[in-house]
Amino acid sequence: MDCSLTDSLPKPKTISVNGTVIPREAIAREVQNHPAEKPILAWQAAARALVVRELLLQEARRLEISAEPLRDAKGRSETPEEAAMRALIEREVVTPEPDDASCLRYYEQNQRRFRSGDLYEAAHILIATPRNDAAARSGARETAEKVLSSVLEDPALFDQLARTRSDCRTSAENGGSLGQLTRGQTIEEFEVALARMDEGELAIVETRYGFHIVRLDRHAPGQVLPFELARERIADYLATSVQHRSLAQYVAVLAGRAEITGIALAGASSPLLQ
């Protein structure tokens, strides 16, 4: 199918910055960098990004700023325009380095971000049953209760019953063992049940797959990373956040004294602002 993005969109107003028109073809090429639910939203984001770019280039020319293009680790070189924008931002957008007090305050207010996940070691015997078959689920629960009763009477039977009765064949081969588990490795209802169990406890857990006779062998609570080890990461995050805000404010100043037609700059999504 031969259909370009420019053909599928309504003809918008001409977009310009201080009289310099942003070509529709340039916007169409930029669209790929701005995925969105609707083509028009991607188009608008691309147009705003190019408006930001033009603002920065015009300011660099006004201040007679240029720079030697740099190469990245893969050998790719900046264009002269990219080098000029980089030099402009480095000179005009000053972002202070976060101090220890700022880093510590962020650390204390966001402890959960620096806590490792809980670690579980568990085993199960699965009595599988269709999710929407009430009669089958009732029968499966009765079976699970009988298996649990047998294991409670003789805990040594767990491995044997897992190998012979469990419908989870992967774990059954290992006596029902699921190994070490962290958040996100199992389905939600199973994770919730594990979090509520005590070490050594046996319980029936109902999930979308059926009924599990679960044995929790070990629970190691997550640990909070010491501030000394988290400081560098926090400083990088805060510095990036400050740089983003400072650059957005700088672009807003440039936009405020420029004549921009065809689009509102609010919500600009240029990679330069991210």
pLDDT in tens, 210-227: 999 999 999 999 999 999
CA-wise closest residue to 93 among 125, 130, 56, 49? 56
What pLDDT does 9 receive? Answer: 52
Q: How confident is the model at residue 96 (pLDDT cuts 50, 70, 90)?
A: confident
State mean pLDDT over 169-187.
94
Residue 251 in contact with residue 55, Cβ under 8 Å?
Answer: yes
CA distance linking residue 258 with residue 253, whole number of Å: 9
DSSP 173-227: TTTTEEEEE-TTSS-HHHHHHHHHPPTT-EEEEEETTEEEEEEEEEEE---BPPH
Beta bridge partners of 220: 119
Alpha carbon separation from 110 to 183, 225, 227 (Å, rounded): 19, 12, 11
**Predicted confidence band of residue 95 (pLDDT cuts 50, 70, 90):** confident
More confident residue, 147 or 131: 147
**Rounded mean pLDDT, 80-109:** 94
Is a pLDDT exceeding 90 seen at residue 193? yes
- Give the separation between CA 79 and CA 69, rounded to whole angstroms: 6
Three-state DSSP class for residue 168: coil
Is the pLDDT reported for residue 264 higher than 80?
yes
List the chain domain ranges. 5-98+230-273, 119-220
pLDDT above 90 (res 15) = yes
pLDDT for the residue numbered 94: 86
Whether 165 contacts 140, CB under 8 Å: no
Extract the tokens encoding 244.
């983003």
pLDDT in tens, 108-145: 999 989 998 899 999 999 999 998 999 999 999 999 99
- Tokens 């929790």 belong to which residue? 216
The CATH architecture assigned to 119-220 reads Roll (3.10)
**For residue 267, what pLDDT is reported?**
46
- The pLDDT assigned to 266 comes to 65
Which residues make Cβ contacts (< 8 Å) with residue 107, sequence separation at least 6? 114, 227, 230, 231, 234
Name the average pLDDT for the chain.
91
Q: Is pLDDT of 209 > 90?
A: yes
pLDDT of residue 12: 59
The whole-model pTM stands at 0.58
- DSSP-based three-state secondary structure for 237: helix
Average pLDDT score over residue span 198-203: 96
Q: Centre a 10 Å sphere on the Cβ of residue 66 and count the other Cβ atoms it contains.
A: 14
Q: Which two tokens stand for residue 250?
A: 């700088």
